[in-house]
Structure 1
Amino acid sequence: MKKTKKISRFLAGLAFIVGISPFQSCDIDVIPQDRYVEELIWSDPSTIEMYVNGLYAEFKTFEFGRISNLGYDNATDALTDIMKYNSTTAGNGTVNILASNANQFGPGSVGINYWGNGYTRIRRINEFLDGLYTKSSLSDGDRLKYEAEARFVRGYTYFWLLRLHGSVILLDNLSQYATKDHARSSEEDGWNFVAADFAFAAEHLNKTNLSGRATKGAAYSMLARAWIYAASIAENDRKQFNSDPLTGIPQEKALGYYTNAMNAANEVVKLANEGLYELDANFASIFHNKNTKEAIFRVDFSAPLVRHQYDLGFAPPRDAAGTLVYGVPTAELVDEFEMKDGTKFSWGNPTHQANPYANREPRFYATILFNGAKWKNRTINTTEADAVEGIVQYGLSGDPKRTVTGYYTRKLLDSTNTNFVVNGSTQSWIELRYAEVLLILAEAQAGANQLGDAVGTLNTLRGKRGLPNVFSNTKAGVMELIEHERIVELAFEGHRFWDLRRWRKAHTVLNGVQFTGHKVVPAGNSFSYEVVSADNTNRSFTGALYYLPIPEAEDLRNNALDQIKGW
């Protein structure tokens, strides 16, 4: 674990002095060289404010579905059945290497490594919390507000560590840093710790919705997300995959955790009823409208200094020379979208098969670019005849920079941005949406066997998306409806991989299979559609991957830390 010596090693607020946002792609962890700077922080309220702003840089680590150390947008979705990365080479194609070989994960080469960076952030937050009460002259009210914000970020950081490892080291005060040796906590204690941070934040933050800053609604939303993870693990893990005594949660805790998730989500619903949040009737506009009330916690960008490169990574090749086309939607995702009348799409239905992209639900057209789609004053052509945007077989080129499934992403792209190679992109990243809160609420209600309420919550969301009501009166049936809605509603927002892991379904959905695309073949005045593999080897996910290993170097330097069993 990386150790810092004193609080003067973190003054991210200095970034603002030179006009750099904490969400810009740069190193904001400035290292002052003397104690005078540390004393200056606590004597000036404006520098304290800058310091807190800097803490929010942690949200950049995971924006646009990115994962620490892979460093690519949508990387986690590309580990699943809804997105396929096109490259076979290390770097652009590392996610494919990981997806096809579970042996790529290990203590010496963990595949996904957030441990060191996460604990560096936690150390700095704990230093800030200590200084807040021992060195600052702020009022009690200001201290509580800043503590709430800092604990919101700490809760988020620990949330990710728990997602990855289950059992981690819990540190919440500077006295614990007197020794370098710390043991892991139980997974149950970890989720309770995270929940306590978010609950404190929810109690002490204001309701006002602010871009890039924690609010009461954001804290309750994260609290609901944390509890639904804990509940899922308690219900589904049952010590089937790991013998480590510190991983897993007793199954009897599930109902209480579902209830906690339900309560937290309902607090957000109350705020929505007060007018703070609401589902957006125009699904496509959610990700481009900075005034949408569906966004609960949002990271904004602004040219020229604060930009990102999502369009560069996922726009179709004809949008601009130099597009990278990291990943594309799979046929599995495309087939998940319903018809506009709410019936399930089926290739076995002659009407659907004859024109598979007609009369689909609104979210389909806002999420997928397909053969014949209108996009930036042209018609997308994914047939093999198009040498620029047409489908190419996966593996024939190390980095083809075009689709291997017959589809391109539409969601999150900016349809008005025609010069993103030079100017970058500025659409917001929405970390928390009101739609996700309703999906959490429905799942918590189902977990608590309130099936009618769960279906009602789902239908609230579906109605806003222009779809008819659904119905099920069994828990398995309701959970199937929830999984479907999470796939199509949250596609490319970084949820699918973690959903499959917390439901303990990844070892069946992501193992021993190859995901597919659709090759469109002209046939006279119409087209036929061939299913083609988008993989050249089977996917690989073993039960051990539900708890990723602690990096070997961290284990070696901490005498009290033992590796998670199975690794």
Structure 2
Amino acid sequence: MQKIMKKFILKVFIVSAFIGLASCKKLLQQDSLTKLDESAVYSDVNLVQTSLKGIYANWLNCRVDEQGTVLMMGTDETQQGAFQMKTDASKGGLDRYDGNLNSLQGQITTQWNLRWPLVNEAAKIINGLDKPGLVPGSKAAGVVGEASFIRGFIDFELAMYWGSIPIRDLSRENTLGLKRQPLKDVWAFIISDLIKASTLCPQTNAPGRATSGAALAMLGKAYMSAPESTGLRDFDKARNCFEQMMGRYTLVPYQNLFDYTKPNTVEAILEFQYSPVSPNNNKVQFQIGSRAVQNTFGDGCYFSGYDKIVPTIHAYETVANGGVWEDGDLRRDQSIRYDFSYYGVTPTYDIISWEGLGANHDELNPHIKKYEDFRTDSHSGLGYNNMYNSGKDMPVLRLGDIKLCYAECLNELGKTGDAVAVVNEVRTRAWGGTLPADRAWTAMSQDDFRTKIMDERIRELFAENWRKIDLIRTGKFVDLVKKYNKWAAQSGTIQAFNSLLPIPDSEMKLNDQITPNDQNPGYK
């Protein structure tokens, strides 16, 4: 049993019974922790606002520490470090796509269990407040809008990674139960939530909270990503969503996006809020930093770490060497660390030679840089002195991403010339405001654009948790992972069914409405 949410205390009683269990069924059917009638709680907008704040606080856990890296593993962009692959066969399955990727895999179970409590609590809020006569612009409408955004966003993730999922609409609970629903119904529900959020969310909000702009951005992504089999994929509707919201945001210099002194820039649509002070730190540096650096300089070096996840060669090399990076692209050195020297000393592999990795040593190969937090360095003078305290904000939605999504829609609608012009806007920022003529995209076919945009999205969004979704929605998951992920290439076992994750064994044991017969094809 894993505690997911803090108890919400308001006046003299606890508002929410929000304990995350291994089972969706047990989680969703638990009794209240208090004698207070739940229907009374969730129909009171003042009480519900406390619950909503709790959902936001616990949503951050999806990006914290190791669990924040799991869904970035196994792509053509990032993979686990060599030492991790050697020492943990179970986690290794997340990159090898071998028999260790199964319903018993603990990290996959954690990802599943992190999200369902948030969906369930949002569903309670919506069920309690979304009644006839709800007035747009009212306090209650805003809360319903934000809860709908959260449920829509997280259901979007769950559907992308697991396919058919339960629909948590409490007004239809007797009909729907807790079983997996048809894919078309799932995506229609996601779209409905995001439409409602785009109507009811405020246009401006506190940092880290949903706005109508964020809802429109996610609604556009949903229209782009809904499986073609559902009949709901609609690039024109996605285009319209993006056009409604893009003008509210502005591209900023790329380096500003990852500068902890400049949080929540005018480019940020939604940004998860962290700090280097526990318990609000994200701890992600421990997972992305270098083990050789840590063994040489200690925890007080801000780019120390454990090599849990590192860039693939494709994601850190130049075009000339088979990678994605072009000369002069400023995003490269903002996204990836190539130099590990520290106050005049350069680490070597000698200090970790005991690992026995031979040619597979990658602790001093390029690493993820975006989330390094100098405030944690012993030389910062701030007293944190441990990279584990890393606490930079993390972008969830930002304009650079949405412009590239918009360009994809234009291309799919036969407006490739317009799509190229939009991509060049993003690339102009990448070259500091002046795009050299030989770096500007020019006329190309629709198919060429589809190929080139995938590398452009690595350059713009490296390690921002969108890559696996991009690969799945474009149908390029198997081909590109097999080609560029070192461990998947060596194993040679990745198959089409691996584009979805297995339903956790614990869910099937505790939820009698999801049985082994409901498992995603290819898994046991």
TM-score class normalised by the smaller sequence = 0.7 to 0.9
| Structure 1 residue 130: Cα displacement | 2.5
Match for residue 176 of structure 1? 173
Provide, for residues 292-315 of structure 1, a one-character-per-residue CA deviation record: whole Å limited to 9, x for no partner.
Answer: 112110121232441121222223
Determine which of 387, 392, 404 is the counterpart of 1:427.
392
| Structure 1 residue 61: Cα displacement | 4.3
* 1:441 paired to 2:406: yes
Match for residue 367 of structure 1? 335
Aligned equivalents of 2:179, 2:107: Cα separation in 1: 24
Query: What amino acid sits opposite 2:445 in the alignment?
Result: T
Aligned equivalents of 2:220, 2:326: Cα separation in 1: 37
Match for residue 279 of structure 1? 251
* 1:542 paired to 2:495: yes
Provide, for residues 505-562 of structure 1, a one-character-per-residue CA deviation record: whole Å limited to 9, x for no partner.
Answer: 2222223x5756xxxxxxxxxxxxxxxxx78933532111223343455456435875
Provide, for residues 341-366 of structure 1, a one-character-per-residue CA deviation record: whole Å limited to 9, x for no partner.
Answer: xxxx3149xxx9xxx99954211111
Provide, for residues 148-198 of structure 1, a one-character-per-residue CA deviation record: whole Å limited to 9, x for no partner.
Answer: 11111110121122112222232312441588564522x233222111111
Match for residue 244 of structure 2? 267
Query: What amino acid sits opposite 2:496 in the alignment?
Result: G
Match for residue 75 of structure 1? 70
Aligned residues of 1:10 and 1:124 also touching (Cα < 8 A): no
Aligned residues of 1:76 and 1:497 also touching (Cα < 8 A): yes
Query: What amino acid sits opposite 1:197 in the alignment?
Result: D
Aligned equivalents of 1:493, 1:297: Cα separation in 2: 12
Aligned residues of 1:314 and 1:325 also touching (Cα < 8 A): yes
Q: Secondary structure at the match of 1:510?
A: helix
Mapping for residues 376-391 of structure 1, pairs under 5 Å: 377-378=343-344, 380=346, 384=349, 387=351
Query: What amino acid sits opposite 1:249 in the alignment?
Result: T
Aligned residues of 1:510 and 1:540 also touching (Cα < 8 A): no
Match for residue 332 of structure 1? 314
Determine which of 427, 430, 445 is the counterpart of 1:474.
445
Q: Secondary structure at the match of 2:70?
A: coil
Instruction: Give the gaps of 5 or more residues in structure 1.
Output: 3-8, 235-247, 272-276, 337-344, 517-533
Mapping for residues 225-304 of structure 1, pairs under 5 Å: 225-230=221-226, 233-234=227-228, 248-250=229-231, 254=233, 257-271=234-248, 277-283=249-255, 285-288=257-260, 289-302=262-275, 303-304=277-278
Aligned equivalents of 1:209, 1:180: Cα separation in 2: 34
CA separation of 1:284/1:406 partners in 2, compared to 1, >3 Å: closer, same or farther? farther
* 1:154 paired to 2:151: yes
**What count of residue pairs does the alignment treat as equivalent?**
482
* 1:105 paired to 2:64: no
Aligned equivalents of 2:393, 2:478: Cα separation in 1: 33
CA separation of 1:10/1:117 partners in 2, compared to 1, >3 Å: closer, same or farther? closer
| Structure 1 residue 503: Cα displacement | 1.7
Aligned residues of 2:74 and 2:488 also touching (Cα < 8 A): no
Query: What amino acid sits opposite 2:55 in the alignment?
Result: L
Provide, for residues 355-384 of structure 1, a one-character-per-residue CA deviation record: whole Å limited to 9, x for no partner.
Answer: x9995421111122224x66x544655x65
Match for residue 47 of structure 1? 47
Match for residue 521 of structure 1? none
Query: What amino acid sits opposite 1:320 in the alignment?
Result: G
| Structure 1 residue 430: Cα displacement | 1.2
Aligned equivalents of 2:351, 2:51: Cα separation in 1: 51
| Structure 1 residue 441: Cα displacement | 0.4
CA separation of 1:393/1:180 partners in 2, compared to 1, >3 Å: closer, same or farther? same
CA separation of 1:31/1:548 partners in 2, compared to 1, >3 Å: closer, same or farther? same
Mapping for residues 502-517 of structure 1, pairs under 5 Å: 502-511=473-482, 515=485
CA separation of 1:514/1:285 partners in 2, compared to 1, >3 Å: closer, same or farther? closer
Q: Secondary structure at the match of 1:435?
A: helix
CA separation of 1:285/1:127 partners in 2, compared to 1, >3 Å: closer, same or farther? closer
Structure having the higher helix fraction is 2
CA separation of 1:31/1:58 partners in 2, compared to 1, >3 Å: closer, same or farther? farther
Query: What amino acid sits opposite 1:403 in the alignment?
Result: D
Q: Secondary structure at the match of 1:36?
A: coil
Match for residue 412 of structure 1? 371
Aligned equivalents of 2:88, 2:399: Cα separation in 1: 32
Aligned residues of 1:63 and 1:73 also touching (Cα < 8 A): yes
Q: Secondary structure at the match of 1:406?
A: coil
| Structure 1 residue 32: Cα displacement | 6.2
Aligned equivalents of 1:194, 1:11: Cα separation in 2: 23
Provide, for residues 70-119 of structure 1, a one-character-per-residue CA deviation record: whole Å limited to 9, x for no partner.
Answer: x4433333312222322346886744333213333344558623445544
Give the TM-score taking structure 2 as reference length.
0.79
CA separation of 1:139/1:219 partners in 2, compared to 1, >3 Å: closer, same or farther? closer
Aligned equivalents of 1:454, 1:391: Cα separation in 2: 51
Match for residue 380 of structure 2? none
| Structure 1 residue 204: Cα displacement | 1.3
CA separation of 1:76/1:103 partners in 2, compared to 1, >3 Å: closer, same or farther? same
Query: What amino acid sits opposite 1:548 in the alignment?
Result: L
Aligned residues of 1:194 and 1:226 also touching (Cα < 8 A): yes
Instruction: Give the gaps of 5 or more residues in structure 2.
Output: 22-26, 378-383
Aligned equivalents of 2:161, 2:398: Cα separation in 1: 22
| Structure 1 residue 60: Cα displacement | 2.2
Aligned equivalents of 1:417, 1:311: Cα separation in 2: 10
RMSD value, Cα = 4.1
